[in-house]
Amino acid sequence: MCRIPQHWLTVGPRFNPKTRSPRAAVSPAHAILNYVYALAKAETTIALHATGLDPRLGIVHADTPRRNNMALDCVEAIRPAVDRYVLDLIELRMLSRDDFAETETGEVQLSRSLRSELGATMLHWGTAIAPIVEDVANLLRPLNAVGRKIVPTPLTGRNKREAQAAIKASRGRTAPPARRRGNDKVSATSMLAMMPRLDGEQRREYWLSSLYPSVKGMSTARLAEVTGLSKPHLRTIKRGDRIPHPKYWPAFLNAINSKENDR
């Protein structure tokens, strides 16, 4: 059985004393942070290309060769969201020694399964960075031949939605609610990736609207078998007196999905 290095138990410094680089993480927390930053940077680079900007030309970051400097500029705007996601992930997810490996230089690397789990958040970072990149592109965009500035929104479609809303408002009608497909199911993996992005109130609303209606009608014995929680504790959950910790929600979801598949 491999022992967990003592310095892995804290976030620690970002700087690697052996490689003298902040990118070679020496703790699991910084390894996860670096990986998610890289995912956000990749989505930012794609967004910059889509709006016609060269991601290599920095505004705040210096124009360092072989580096997407403008992508680093833009991703600064969502760094707090990345930090919050990683902190929530560490709190909610049970990490093990097998999720990480250490190289000869002391750099901590992520396992393939953990990289795959974190990779599922790329769509979220693409959505978060899209309006920021659009604003940067439109701020830098010059005036056209008649002295007007065109401000397209190819990533978010904000212009199109606002125009449609204005047309419907002028006709005295409201937009119909978005339709959900009946066969859309949330997997336990996608739920685990989604939970850190929600605040406390959003998590409560998600539990009450998406999980609790099914959980309260399920067998207590079945729920105890799937979740590992005690039956008295589960009875308080089924009565609505208590909301379980989000780390148990994937187990509840698996129980719900298995019950639906048995029908």
- The CATH code of the domain that includes 198 is 1.10.260
pLDDT at 181: 43
Instruction: Round the average pLDDT of the chain to a whole number and report it.
Output: 83
Cα 29 to the center of its chain, rounded Å: 16
13 shares a domain with 99? yes
Domain span at residue 239? Answer: 188-262
175 occurs within a structural domain: no
Task: Write the pLDDT tens digit of every residue in 205-242.
Answer: 888 888 899 999 999 999 989 888 888 889 989 988 88
Q: Looking at the structure, do residues 102 and 206 belong to the same domain, yes or no?
A: no
Q: Pick the residue with more confidence: 86 or 189?
A: 86
Question: 7, 6, 24: which is closest to 103 by C-alpha?
Answer: 24
How many residues in total does the chain contain? Answer: 263
Q: How far is CA 2 from CA 17, 54, 97, 162, 167, in A?
A: 23, 46, 8, 57, 64
Domain boundary among 107, 126, 145: 126
In this prediction, residue 37 carries a pLDDT of 96
Count how many domains the chain has: 2
170, with CB counted inside 10 A (0-12, 13-18, 19+), is exposed
In tens, the pLDDT along 14-39 reads: 766 666 666 788 889 999 999 999 99
Report if residue 223 sits inside a domain: yes
For residue range 42-97, list pLDDT tens digits in order.
Answer: 999 999 999 999 999 999 999 899 899 999 999 999 999 999 999 998 888 888 88
More confident residue, 251 or 75: 75
**193 and 114, same structural domain?**
no
Dihedral sign (CA 226, 230, 236, 239): positive
**Is residue 258, in this structure, part of any structural domain at all?**
yes
What is the spatial distance between Cα 26 and Cα 4, in angstroms, rounded to a whole number? 13
Q: What is the pLDDT at residue 73?
A: 96
Domain assignment of residue 155, yes or no? no
| 173 within some domain | no
Distance, first Cα to last Cα, the chain: 43
Q: Which of 87, 107, 126 is the last residue of a domain?
A: 126
200, part of any domain:
yes
The reply to whether 154 falls in a domain is no
Judge whether 157 lies within some domain. Answer: no
pLDDT for residue 183? 42
Of 126, 160, 175, which residue sits at a domain end? 126
In the numeric block, the tokens 């970051």 are attached to 61
What pLDDT band is residue 173 in, cutting at 50, 70 and 90?
A: low
Residues sharing a CB contact under 8 Å with residue 113, sequence separation 6 or more, in sequence order? 99
